[in-house]
Structure 1
């Protein structure tokens, strides 16, 4: 396991693209561009091995995997930053200039200013990573299917209609194949199977939502209910200023989760379970239906999995 010095003395900023990585040494302000290849990165980063160094790069849809792997190999602490947070940080200085060396220097400065609070990157379990990729691909194909179904409503040509139907059939085959692969992967992993069983015990959570929650929110079971609510995008946030006080609204969180949870809540509130009881009680208290659906946070003890909190993600 990688050990980290008590105090970070130098921060590296890595601006990552598909072909190159621009590295900025926060101490010397020297920048260099390296090919995004393991051997080249290993040579460039070797001098920082064993030093009190933190490397910061942005999430770039997978292009950062190679640099992060090399940093892990060399036991250099790393942080994979949220691009939106870095962009807001740069914006706070009123700066507009942008190129690879400038971005790398900003990443170094971002890491220097926030080193104490930045989480350190750790490699994802291979099974969890494979599940995330499969679920992400399934979401893409489902979105394509919806688009094609909408186009089929007004194709304006028989040839186009036949082409769309053929594409829909192909999409269906691929989605079914992914469903089977996801089910097999969960069944073969003891940890995923246990968490899936716990999630299925919650009313409204079915075979589509279970792998989505396992893939997008692997933190379930390790966070408290308020953190989970915020991560899922169902936490009400205040919007007050001076004497003005507006209704609280839910925002943020993973964009894939909120629609799925909404459908699950609709299904649960029509059954005979603790969630439905809580929903009806909220309606009786004159809460609007949408507010009541979002506020269904109570699960009766008989419906709560014995081993912990994954079900707390429902709407808390």
Structure 2
């Protein structure tokens, strides 16, 4: 069982690269080992059973071996957001950078914030696969848009056949991914339940359902403000003294906001309560952009509430049957 934040007494900073991992246990001394399971296991073995928190940065997957070894040794870990660590270092006015320096900064970052840092947990294999499939689909769709734009360019006539062939290939891959995603969701009881609830929300279609399941797996466990913020549709205040600026929707997980915009457009054109709410906002002289953002926020909060209620009901039934 992993130690609670209040039990942590020492911090281990780990700077991860493709081939190596540099460790710093809070002192000036650092050690660099190969980014391989056996080497990491030997280096981390002395910390097993101690009240140590390991802190590393997300590196696009190079940290996976390290996190697996930490999990195996039951050493609690935090995978930090690189942007937050960079801002933390910048707040001290420091510019020097190499692997040992970064490891020391990660150790210091963990020491200052240990009580509030969420502990890393191994992802469910099905959820992990869904995230990879959805991310790959987003990449292919972006490629398709690029090729479609190239095909329209006046100087592309000489290579139009090649572009069309590539577009056809992209379409095949996208359709195959769609089928694999649908199968994966259908085979998982939890994902299927969540998907069913998402489909019941006006505006949410077959593309947005797996996107929400993959990008916001916390859906159903958040309050309405938290889920709106994660989706990038929360109006954040920007006031200072007597100045009251227009609130803007910034931040969030970048894949969600564009998809929610399309969902809001679809919902507003239908016959549903969201369309009524949109027309009421326009009648109240709200700009269309503001009204659509409000509908986007309603869509994600309704989705969050329906998933929460469905999961809670399923758990209650499971407890009764048990």
Describe how 1:65-214 pairs up with structure 2 within 5 A. Answer: 65-154=64-153, 156-214=155-213
Describe the SS at the equivalent of 2:7: coil
Measure the CA separation in 2 of the matches of 1:80 and 1:225: 26
Structure with the larger helix share:
2
Range that drifts further, 160-169 or 246-255: 160-169
| Matching of residue 40 in structure 1 with residue 39 in structure 2 | yes
Classify 1:155/1:38 alpha carbon distance in 2 versus 1 (closer, same or farther; 3 Å).
farther
Structure 2 Cα separation of the partners of residues 120 and 5 of structure 1: 9
CA distance in 2, matches of 1:305, 1:134: 25
Tell me, yes or no, if the aligned pair for 1:220 and 1:309 is still in contact at 8 Å.
Answer: no
Residue 55, structure 1, aligned to residue 51, structure 2? no
Partner SS for 1:295: helix
Question: What are structure 2's unaligned runs of at least 5 residues?
Answer: 312-322
Instruction: Kindly indicate whether the alpha-carbon contact (under 8 Å) linking 2:49 and 2:74 is maintained by their aligned counterparts in 1.
Output: yes
Q: Is the 8 A contact 1:23 1:32 kept in 2?
A: yes
Residue equivalent to 1:248: 247
**SS at the partner of 2:105?**
helix
- Asked if structure 1 preserves the Cα contact closer than 8 Å seen for 2:7 and 2:51, the reply is yes
Contact 1:278 1:298 in 2 (8 A): no
Which residue of structure 2 aligns with residue 261 of structure 1? 260
Give per-residue Cα distances to partners, 1:181-233, cap 9 Å, x unaligned.
Answer: 00000000000000000000000000000000000000000000000000000
Corresponding residue of 2:8: 8
- TM-score normalised to the size of structure 1? 0.93
Q: Is the 8 A contact 2:220 2:306 kept in 1?
A: no
Is residue 48–residue 76 contact of structure 1 (8 Å, CA) maintained in 2? yes
Cα RMSD after superposing both structures? 1.8
SS at match of 1:15: strand
TM-score by length of 2: 0.91
Structure 2 CA distance, aligned partners of 1:75 and 1:307?
31
Judge conservation of contact 2:198–2:307 (CA < 8 Å) in 1: no
Displacement after TM superposition at 1:143 (Å): 0.5
In the TM superposition, what whole-angstrom CA distance separates every residue of 1:132-177 from its partner, at most 9, and x where no partner exists?
Answer: 0000000001111111111111262544211111111111111111
CA spacing shift, 1:60–1:307, aligned 2, 3 Å: closer
Query: Is the 1:155–1:161 Cα contact (8 Å) retained in structure 2?
Result: no
Unaligned runs of 5+ in 1: 311-316
Structure 1 CA distance, aligned partners of 2:69 and 2:28? 22
Change (3 A) 1:157 1:286: closer
Partner of 1:271: 270
Paired residue total = 307
Deviations 1:59-94 (A, max 9, x none): 011111110010010010100000000000000000
Which runs of structure 1 show a deviation greater than 3 angstroms over 4 or more consecutive aligned residues?
Answer: 1-6, 297-301, 304-307
Conserved? CA contact 2:21–2:33, under 8 Å: yes
Q: Distance in 2 between matches of 1:149 and 1:93?
A: 47
In 2, the alpha carbon distance for the partners of 1:246 and 1:70 equals 49
Distance 1:234 1:309 in 2: 24
Shift of 1:30: 1.7
Q: Partners in 2 of 1:165 and 1:270 — Cα distance?
A: 33
